[in-house]
Amino acid sequence: MIATLAFYAFASVLVASAAMVVTSRNPVHAVLFLILAFFNAAGLFLLAGAEFLAMILVIVYVGAVAVLFLFVVMMLDVNFSEMRSGFVRYLPIGGAVGLVLLAELLMVGAVWSVSPSAPRLIAVPVPGGVTNTEALGRVLYTDYIYLFQAAGIVLLVAMIGAIVLTLRDRPGTKRQDIARQIDRSRRETLDMVNVEVGQGMVVPPKHEPAKQPEHANGNGHHGGGHH
Amino acid sequence: MQEFLATPFGTLLFTVVAVLVIMVPVLIGVAYLTYAERKVLAAMQLRKGPNIVGPFGLFQPFADAIKLMMKETIVPTGSNRLLFLMAPMLTFALALIAWAVIPFGPGLVLADINVGVLYLFAISSLGVYGIIIAGWASNSKYAFLGALRSAAQMVSYEVSIGFVIITVLLCVGSLNLTEVVLAQQGLWFAIPLFPMFVVFFISALAETNRAPFDLPEGESEIVAGFFVEYSSMSFALFFLGEYANMILMSGMTTILFLGGWLPLWDIAPLNWIPGPIWFALKICLCLFVFLWVRATFPRYRYDQLMRLGWKVFLPFSLLWVVLTAGALMAFGWLPGQT
C-alpha cells in the first residue's frame, strides 16, 4: 500500500520534473528540476530494492555532476530574447533531427520484446542472504571485471583529455613554492645595519643575485634601514 | 500495545515520536553549541563571553533565538523569491535528515539501513546546494562569490572524504553504521588509521565551512559570503544548519574513528555508563576541537585551500587506501575472508 503510493508519487514527480527540465525558460531552474528528477529516480531504485544504486545515483549525479552543471549554468549570462530569436530559422533542421530520432526510437520499440524470465529477475533483485552492495560487487569484480576496468580506463582517458585541453603553461604567473619559503633562513633575507644618526645609508648590494622575479611574497625584509 | 504498533497508524505514530526523540536533543545541542562556541572562544581569548542572560549566561541562546524571530525577513527586490526562501530551508532540512541513520547505541537507530555510510556521504554532499542556491537567488555579487567558493571547496574535500570512508569500509566489510561501530570493539580505527583520522577531521572542517576554511563567508573580504542578503529566520536557518552540520560531522568522526557508543575500555566502571552518553561525550570532544581550531588558526588563502585538498589530501588518502587494502590482503585480515 505505502510502497505503491510511494511509487506513483516518485514516478509522477520524476516525469513532471523531467518535462520541466526541457520546458523551463530559466536554465538554472532547468538544472534544479534535473536534480529533482535524479532524486526521484533514486527513490524508485530504493523501492526496487537497489539501495546501493540509489545512493550512488545521489552521490555521483546530484552531489558532483549536477553541482558542476549548476556552477557553469549560473556563470552563463544568457540572453533569453536573443536565444529565442533564431527559433524559426533553426526549426526545419531541428525538426528533421527530431523526426529521425523519433523514427529510430519507434523502430527499436517495435521489435523490442521482454524476455519471459525477466519479471522473475525484477522481483528478486538480490540473491538471497547477501546485501545489495555485496551482490553487486560479486558480479562486478568477477564476471564483468574486464568491462569494469575498461569503463575505468574510458573515464581516465576523459580525465586526461580534459586536463590536456585546459592546461596551458602561461609565462609570468606568480607561484608560491612552500618548500622554498620554509627553507629560507634569516641569514639570507635579513641584514642588520647600524645606521649613523643623521647620515642615512645606501642599501648595500644583495648577497644573492635577484634571480627570482616569480617569488610571490615575503621579500619585504631585504635591505636594511631606509630611514 | 504490540498490536497497535503493528498497524500502519501505530507505525506512523511510533516513527514520529522517534524522530522527535532525535530532533529535540539535536536542536538543543545546536542551541548550546552556539553558547559553547562563544564561551570557549572567550576563554581562549581571555574574555568572559556571554554571562548576563541567566546564570553563567545559559539563557543566551534563547535570547538570541527570540531576537532573530522578532526581526523582519527581507527579500531583496532583484532576488528569485522562491529559491531565495527555499535555500535556508534546504540547508536546515539536510542537516537534520542525516540523523536518521546515526546509531546512538546498540540497536538505538531510527533507520538501520545497509548503506548507512553512503547515505551520510550523499546527504553531506548535498549540503552544497543550499549554499549555491542562496548565492545565486540573492542576486548579489558577494553572495555569488561566496557560493562559488563554497561549491569548489566542498566538491574538492568530498573527494578525500570519500577515500577516507573507503579505507574504513575496507576494515569493516560493511556499509552499515552499526557494524562500523561494532568492528571497533577492542581497537578504535583512530589508532591504526590515524593519518586518515586527521585527514577526515580536516576535511570535515572544510566541508562544514568552518575556520580555517570559512572562505565562503569570509567576512573580511566578501562581507558575509553566501548569506549576506539574509535576515531574521532565514538567516537563523543557515546558522542552525551550519551548527547542526558541525554536530553531524563530529558524530560521523565518532562513528568512523572513535568507536561510536563503545566505552573507552570494556571494564567495570566505564561500561556502566550507557552507550548514548559515551556517544555524546565523544561528539563533545570533537566539537571542542572544532572550536579550538577556530580560535587558533587564521583563515587559509584560497589557493592554499585548493592545494591542500587536491595536491596533499587526495594523493595521500589514495595512497592510504592502497596501503590499507594491501596490508589487509597480505595479512589475511580482510573481514569476511574465509
Contact B122 A52 (CB under 8 A): no
Contacts of B175 in chain A (CB under 8 A): 52, 131, 133
pTM of the predicted model as reported, rounded to 2 decimal places: 0.80
Q: Do B54 and B60 contact (CB within 8 A), yes or no? A: yes
How far apart are the C-alpha atoms of A209 and A49, rounded to whole Å? 70
Other residues' Cβ atoms within 10 Å of the Cβ of residue B213: 27
Using a 10 angstrom Cβ sphere, with 0-12 exposed, 13-18 middle and 19 or more buried, the burial of residue A207 is exposed
Dihedral of CA B54/B58/B59/B64: which sign?
A: positive
Contacts of A74 in chain B (CB under 8 A): 132, 136, 144, 147
Strand partners, B108: B105
Residue B209 carries which DSSP code?
Answer: T
* Pick from B106, B281, B96: nearest CA to B181: B106
**Contacts with B245 (C-beta within 8 Å, 6 or more apart), sequence order:** B95, B124, B127, B207, B208
Q: Is B128 on the interface with A (CB under 8 A)?
A: yes
Each residue's pLDDT, cut to its tens digit, for chain B (338 residues) gives 677 777 777 888 888 888 888 889 888 889 889 899 989 989 988 888 888 888 888 888 888 888 888 888 888 887 788 888 888 888 899 888 888 888 888 877 887 888 888 888 888 888 888 888 888 888 888 888 888 888 888 888 888 898 999 999 888 888 888 888 888 887 888 888 889 999 999 998 888 888 788 877 766 676 777 777 787 888 888 888 888 889 999 999 999 888 888 887 777 777 777 888 888 888 999 999 999 998 888 888 888 888 888 888 999 999 999 998 898 888 877 776 55
How far apart are the C-alpha atoms of B126 and B97, rounded to whole Å? 11
Q: Buried b / exposed e across B151-167, counting CB within 10 Å, b at 16+? A: bbbbbbbbbbbbbbbbb
CA A186 to chain B, closest CA, distance in angstroms equals 24
* Pick from B160, B133, B158: nearest CA to B147: B133
B151 closest CB neighbour out of A51, A62, A71: A71
pLDDT digits (tens, 9 = 90+) for A146-161: 999 999 999 999 999 9
CB contact residues (below 8 A), chain B span 96-125, against chain A = 113-115, 118-119, 121-122, 125
Each residue's pLDDT, cut to its tens digit, for chain A (227 residues) gives 778 888 899 999 999 999 988 888 788 888 889 999 998 999 888 888 788 888 888 888 888 888 888 888 887 766 666 666 777 788 888 899 999 999 999 988 888 777 777 766 665 555 667 777 778 888 888 888 999 999 999 999 999 999 999 888 888 878 778 888 888 888 888 877 788 888 777 776 665 554 444 444 444 444 444 44
DSSP B51-63: -SSSGGGTTHHHH
Amino acid at position B230, single letter: Y
Q: Is the ipTM of this complex over 0.90?
A: no
Amino acid at position B38, single letter: R
How far apart are the C-alpha atoms of B252 and B204, rounded to whole Å? 9
